[in-house]
Amino acid sequence: MPINVEWGNSEHSVIIRRFRGKWDWGDFQAASDELNMMLSEVDDPVISILDLSKSAAPPPGVFARAKALMDNIDPAVEMTIVVGINVAVRRVFDIISQVFNARFAACNAIMVTTMEEAYKVIGAKTIEHDW
């Protein structure tokens, strides 16, 4: 699958979505459904890591889907860390954050270059995977 969703630790306080290569909106929806199912299994807030370091460019329609994406952020996600974005994807995030300022701010997104930086943001001891 081009988008893999898994828990980042045994406490289920970190969830990681890894985007690999080319993906489409069907892949995104399948990963979102899996994410929502996993989030329904926990009562405490979680930190979401979106690893885009090996992702191809987003498929067409990102701006058309932006409102729905912002409206569907699960309140259980207390912070989103976006890893490894390139200049083009960064520009997409910048535009979405400007258009949907309040919604984007509510998702508490932080952009970092590497997984190691993500570890530092949330504390390395909370992650059990070794990338």
SS (H, E, C) the chain: CCEEEEECCCCCCEEEEEEEECCCHHHHHHHHHHHHHHHCCCCCCEEEEEEEEEECCCCCCHHHHHHHHHHCCCCCEEEEEEECCCHHHHHHHHHHHHHCHHHHHHCCEEEECCHHHHHHHHCHHHCCCCC
pLDDT of residue 102: 58
| pTM, 2 dp | 0.82
**Section 54-75 average pLDDT:** 79
User: Please, which pLDDT band fits residue 103 given cuts at 50, 70 and 90?
Assistant: low
**Section 82-96 average pLDDT:** 79
Q: Which residue has the tokens 């083009």?
A: 88
In this structure, CATH architecture of domain 3-122 = 2-Layer Sandwich (3.30)
User: Please, which pLDDT band fits residue 75 given cuts at 50, 70 and 90?
Assistant: confident
